Structure 1
Amino acid sequence: MQKKITYPYNSNYPSIADLKKKAKSRIPKFAFDYLEGGCNEELNLARNESDFDDIYLKPQYLKPYKGIDMSKTLFGHTYSAPFGISPIGLQGLMWPNAPEILAKAAAKENVPYILSTVSTSSIERIAEVSGGKAWFQLYHPTENSLRDDIIRRLQVVECPVLVVLVDVPSFGLRYREIKSGLSMPPKMNIQNIFQAAIRPTWGIKTLKHGIPSFATLKPYMEKGLDMTQLGQFMNRTFTGRVDVQKIQAIRDMWKGPLVLKGIVTEEDMEAAIAIGVDGVIVSNHGGRQVDAGESSIVSLQKLTRNASYSQKLTIMLDGGIRSGVDLGRASAVGSEFNFMGRPFMYGVGALGNQGGEHTINLFKAQLQQVMQQLSVEELHQFKDRLIV
């Protein structure tokens, strides 16, 4: 009989939908809307999830079966599962101390955590709590001197992987954020204060950990900026697009693994290969930038039809994954590794300090079940289970 593998998680929340419902009851509406929202009419946000439903997998019940191995070696490190935690801005606004909770959980469970430039913990603090295992996502600054200093700080803490975000040449038009006051410049209005007041656990923890700020960027800000000045600083500092020349300059400076996040077309894939990056994360920024675009999983399927791409770099996916079944579907259509953002924020919003480990183990348990059900022993075998 096959040895049963168990991944402990809170049985009151056996799905991402359960975590989402609980998190919504604990996070103020303005912060939850920031997490949930997409751009414009949020059509691509919905497609990110629904397009997974069109991928079908088949079992092979009578074949010999030795058990499962869901580990994945990526850039020289073997992770315990083929997924990690996506970068999200303002994590500490949605749940106090969220970056540290998630970075610690990821290090303990041996999956990657990516810190965003605009998250609420610093490069140095996350390197400390993760034992130097956390990746970093760079929003390319307008000034090259700021970019160079951030890269220097990453080199000092020996960050294992640098991810450069390429899909924000402008800030998406997100109606929820505009109405709540979380657009730039941000503001706290009477409505937001009321919403915070009726979420006392969030409020108490925010008082304990302090008002969230862009911790990595603090050394570059003037002291005492008010909200309007902060908005002006962010717009001034991160206005401008990433192009081949900028990526090439980073490739020349950064000797470790370099990944581009936001690649969705063959043209950009070929440019990434020409530059010599080590991997790409196919992503539409969680449906927050281009409402008329394709879902991440559809873009991935089109890119992986060209077998030569996967021979030259690692192709990963971010966007729309909500279960272990989705992880299996992603592997079946060519994703070598996967990242999820919102599910992990639901986890910490619902369960606080236990939310990171719970969500990791939840995905592991679900992936284990689908591998056993389909008689998949190793991740690459999902491709053989795809119904085309």
Structure 2
Amino acid sequence: MSNTLQYYPKYPSVQDLKKKAKKRMPKFAFDYLEGGCNDELNVWRNEEDFKHILLMPRYLKKRKEVDMSVDLFGTTYSAPFGIAPVGLQGLMWPNAPDILAKAALKHNIPFILSTVSTSSIEQIAVLTESKFWFQLYHPKENSLRDDILRRLQDVECQVLVVLVDVPSFGLRYREIRAGLSMPPKHTLRNFIQAATRPIWALETLRAGMPSFATLKPYMRKGMDIKQLGKFMNDTFSGKVDADKVRAIRDLWPGKLVVKGVVSEEDAELCAQIGVDGIIISNHGGRQIDAGESTIQSLKRLVTHYKSKYKIMIDSGLRSGPDIARALACGADFAFMGRPFMYGVGALGNKGGDHTIAMLKAQLKQVMEQVCCERPEELPSCLIK
């Protein structure tokens, strides 16, 4: 029996991809990807708490072939994980959202596009044959919200994800020390960092400077970088409360998911509103440092809300075993952001393919080892 990876055996883990990506990405771009709020304790906590989740193998159980496929919102996916939304993906690696969207379609897993990513709704719809999800940063003006929803309906977006965990922007010390702003400024320091990463620089020249492609129709032509930053602050500095989610539920005819839920109060409000699912997330530790890890939030919420809607998770997962741990704790599905960006940063156009294949191989090995034929069987292996 061989567990050799299909693509690049030199990079059999997310950690290997991360090391390679750090050597290929400019420091300001890598720091933007890595950075967490304040002292980054919750970034560490998200990853560390997964390590304490243990599974019990049952070696004498009758074995069948592992089938990792799952049904979610009327679609059968090849594995119980997908690609989480990441802002400014094209800054970290040119054309990153396009690379990952195409890989997601090829491997039949969901890809979530962020409002503040660097490819447009329409571009990703073409690349994924409309098999994509969209994460909405709720704008202050309802007219802008309504137009974005119209565009999503026009391209038959599968699932709308409303982000609720950014009532204010996190204080990320790495970005402050680096002088990194949204969008990034053209500084001498950033230019020098880019010059030391020639592959990134050449690919960026070919692709063009990244921009908020989905939001371009709402920006004044000729807007310079300083004005663009003000536009973003003025447009998306609004808090999302239950009434705003309820209004979207009334407007959106498709599947609706709320991302950023970690408390019983919010989980209950989501049930009352009638959403189709929640993603337990703390924004990868980028918004609050004094919060609990997502796996701890999952273990609290799954008992009471598993029967009300689909419960998914992101933030902190770094491997196939972590996906298995999340499912064993009751999650219906898992999403990962940074690992896929490491993959693209390390391997460019092949990074999406490799990272998906790698995670599938890791998850399959865990399921074979604990003798689980299907992902939904994993809770029976959890050591409580």
* TM-score, normalization by structure 1: 0.97
CA offset at residue 176 of structure 1? 1.2
CA offset at residue 9 of structure 1? 2.6
Summarize the alignment of residues 258-269 of structure 1 with structure 2, pairs less than 5 Å apart. 258-269=256-267
Structure 2: gaps of 5 or more residues: none
**Which residue, out of 75, 78, 94, partners 1:77?**
75
**Which residue, out of 157, 172, 175, partners 2:173?**
175
One-letter code aligned to 2:350: Q
**Which residue, out of 308, 312, 316, partners 1:312?**
308
CA distance in 1 between counterparts of 2:65 and 2:2 reads 9
Cα contact 2:94–2:207 (8 A) shared by 1 = yes
Summarize the alignment of residues 35-46 of structure 1 with structure 2, pairs less than 5 Å apart. 35-46=33-44
**Which residue, out of 71, 82, 102, partners 1:104?**
102
| Alignment deviations for residues 93-131 of structure 1 (CA, whole Å, 9 cap, x no partner) | 000000000000000100000000000000000000111
CA RMSD of the aligned region, Å? Answer: 1.2
* C-alpha spacing 1:24/1:5, structure 2 compared with 1 (3 Å): closer
CA distance in 1 between counterparts of 2:373 and 2:147 reads 45
CA distance in 1 between counterparts of 2:184 and 2:67 reads 46
CA offset at residue 5 of structure 1? 8.8
One-letter code aligned to 1:89: G
* C-alpha spacing 1:135/1:7, structure 2 compared with 1 (3 Å): farther
| Alignment deviations for residues 335-386 of structure 1 (CA, whole Å, 9 cap, x no partner) | 1000000000000000011000100000000001001111111112111111
Structure 1: gaps of 5 or more residues: none
Are 1:326 and 2:335 matched, yes or no? no
How many residues were matched structurally?
384
* C-alpha spacing 1:365/1:242, structure 2 compared with 1 (3 Å): same
Look up the match of 2:357.
Answer: 361
Look up the match of 2:84.
Answer: 86
Summarize the alignment of residues 117-196 of structure 1 with structure 2, pairs less than 5 Å apart. 117-184=115-182, 186-196=184-194
Partner secondary structure for residue 51 of structure 2: helix
| Alignment deviations for residues 182-211 of structure 1 (CA, whole Å, 9 cap, x no partner) | 224642221111000000000000010100
- Bigger CA drift: 4-13 or 75-84? 4-13
| Alignment deviations for residues 47-83 of structure 1 (CA, whole Å, 9 cap, x no partner) | 0100001111110001111121110100000000000
Look up the match of 2:343.
Answer: 347
CA distance in 2 between counterparts of 1:185 and 1:164 reads 22
**Which residue, out of 229, 238, 241, partners 1:240?**
238
Partner secondary structure for residue 306 of structure 2: helix
Cα contact 2:5–2:12 (8 A) shared by 1 = no
Cα contact 1:96–1:206 (8 A) shared by 2 = yes
One-letter code aligned to 2:279: I
CA distance in 2 between counterparts of 1:9 and 1:83 reads 19
CA distance in 2 between counterparts of 1:186 and 1:32 reads 13
* TM-score, normalization by structure 2: 0.98
* C-alpha spacing 1:164/1:213, structure 2 compared with 1 (3 Å): same
CA distance in 1 between counterparts of 2:172 and 2:3 reads 42
